[in-house]
Amino acid sequence: MDLRLIDKQLWSRSVLLKLRAQEEECLPEIFPGQFVQVRVDGSPTTYLRRPISVYYVDQAKQELWLLVQMVGDGTRTLSETAIGALINVMLPLGRPFSMPENPAAKLMLIGGGVGIAPLLYLGKVLKDNGFQPQFLLGARKASDLTQLDLYEEFGEVYVTTEDGSLGEKGFVTQHSVLANQPDMIYCCGPKPMMMAVARYAKEHDVFCELSLENTMACGLGACLCCVEDTKEGHQCVCQEGPVFNLNQLKW
């Protein structure tokens, strides 16, 4: 569907795109952890759509927010889209994070870099459903962590930065809050960081779901390009994921 860009906010390495459904249309139901495939117009070197995780959804306002890290020509062109222009998206795609069963479960949402994006909407939906999420967000430096105040609306926020410019210095897995073991971990971020979180979850026998971001083409499970080598063989991250339980992975 075509969504209208109603607002955007630029940082040095990322851009927030606020999209709204056009008047005669409605956003479908979207679950945390799902993603959209964005068509990039006007970039000659960008051929395929760009898979972008859902940052936030406001059904009342019919708004979908995407936090896009600028890594190449495609995402840079996307960041230059004029406010008021239409952006074509396929949505919602993929399997979402699962909801906890125990209302008292101690939930830790661990994100790194732009991988913090899907955790915002997850935090909102968890809170809306009576759970108490906490966030543990990591980045290289303070300026890479944008809009922490939004996260604070839904739960306590703990931070690590590699240069110590915000929160505790080091990696997320080194944060003191993890001394108090969570019951469930939801995780998204760069692969080395997710693997470190996976090691922590395994050592402490904690339920852990991770959102992978293998390079994709179709986003529909048709081309078989984005496969992860799971315990059940090659599975499409776009269709069987992007969220996998740690038990499914060979990590």
Partner 1 sequence: MVDTRVNLKGLSLRNPVLTASGTFGYGEEFADFVDFSKIGGIIVKGTTIHHREGNPYPRMAETPSGMLNAVGLQNKGAAYFAEKIYPRIADMDTNVLVNVSGSTIEDYVACAEIIQSLDKIPAIELNVSCPNVKQGGMAFGVTTDGISKVVEAVRKVYHKHLMVKLSPNVTSIADIAKAAEASGADSVSLINTLMGMAIDAEKRRPKLSTVTGGLSGACVKPVALRMVWQVSKAVQIPIIGLGGISSATDAIEFLLAGASAIEIGTANFIDPAISQKVAAGIEAYCERHGIASVRELTGALITD
Separation of alpha carbons 151 and 137, rounded Å: 10
Which position among 226, 243, 246, 249 is part of the footprint of partner 1 (CB under 8 A)? 226
Residue 84 as a binder of partner 1 (CB under 8 A): the answer is no
Indicate the DSSP class of residue 22: -
Q: Which of 197, 194, 127 is nearest to 157 (CA)?
A: 127
Binding mask 37-76 for partner 1 (x = CB under 8 A): --x----xxxxxx---------------------------
- Restricting to residues 105-164, name those near partner 1 by CB under 8 A: none
Which structure tokens are listed for 17?
A: 């795109």
Q: Beta 156-161 vs 207-211: how paired, if at all?
A: unpaired
Which residues lie below 8 Å from residue 135, measured CB to CB, with a gap of 6+? 108, 109, 110, 111, 116, 119, 123, 151, 154, 155, 156, 157, 158
Smallest distance from partner 1 to CB 48, Å:
5
Which position among 7, 229, 245, 247 is part of the footprint of partner 1 (CB under 8 A)? 229
Residue 221 as a binder of partner 1 (CB under 8 A): the answer is yes
Q: Which is nearer to partner 1, 47 or 180 (CB)?
A: 47
Separation of alpha carbons 39 and 142, rounded Å: 31
Residue 217 as a binder of partner 1 (CB under 8 A): the answer is yes
Residue 214 as a binder of partner 1 (CB under 8 A): the answer is yes
Contacts to partner 1 by CB under 8 A: 39, 44-49, 90, 214-229, 233-234, 239
